[in-house]
Amino acid sequence: MADRSAAALFGMLFNHLADGEPLDPETIWNLSQSYDFSPIQMDCDDALQKLGLLWVCRSEQCLANNDDYGIHVYGLNSRCNECGAEVTD
């Protein structure tokens, strides 16, 4: 069976390009939000971090609640969903 989700996403990308609209990381992120998967499933955290679409919250609260590991905050969020801290990376 074909992967219809991937086909639909590529269709959206090509339609976006054909309309002459700029294709930037934020646009691709927004297009990806129409699909039912977790960002971690993309296995590209390093790329997302470089593009400003992932930061790690290392607030005292998040570290205390997560065994001293930072909380990954994906997307265009400038605040941590867990503690409300603003982006620090």
Structural domain boundaries of the chain?
1-37, 39-89
Write down the pTM of the prediction.
0.79
DSSP 8-state class, residue 53: S
Q: With a cut of 60, say whether residue 77 has pLDDT above it.
A: yes
| Residue 7: predicted pLDDT | 83
| Residue 48: predicted pLDDT | 95
DSSP 8-state class, residue 55: E
State the pLDDT confidence band at 64, using cuts at 50, 70 and 90: very high
More confident: 79 or 8: 79
Output the CA–CA distances (angstroms, integers) from residue 65 to 34, 43, 45, 59, 86, in the order listed. 30, 24, 22, 10, 17
Of 22, 20, 23, 37, nearest to 74 by C-alpha is: 37
Q: What percent of the chain has pLDDT over 90?
A: 55
Render pLDDT for 12-38 as a digit per residue (tens, 0 to 9).
Answer: 889 989 999 888 999 899 888 888 888
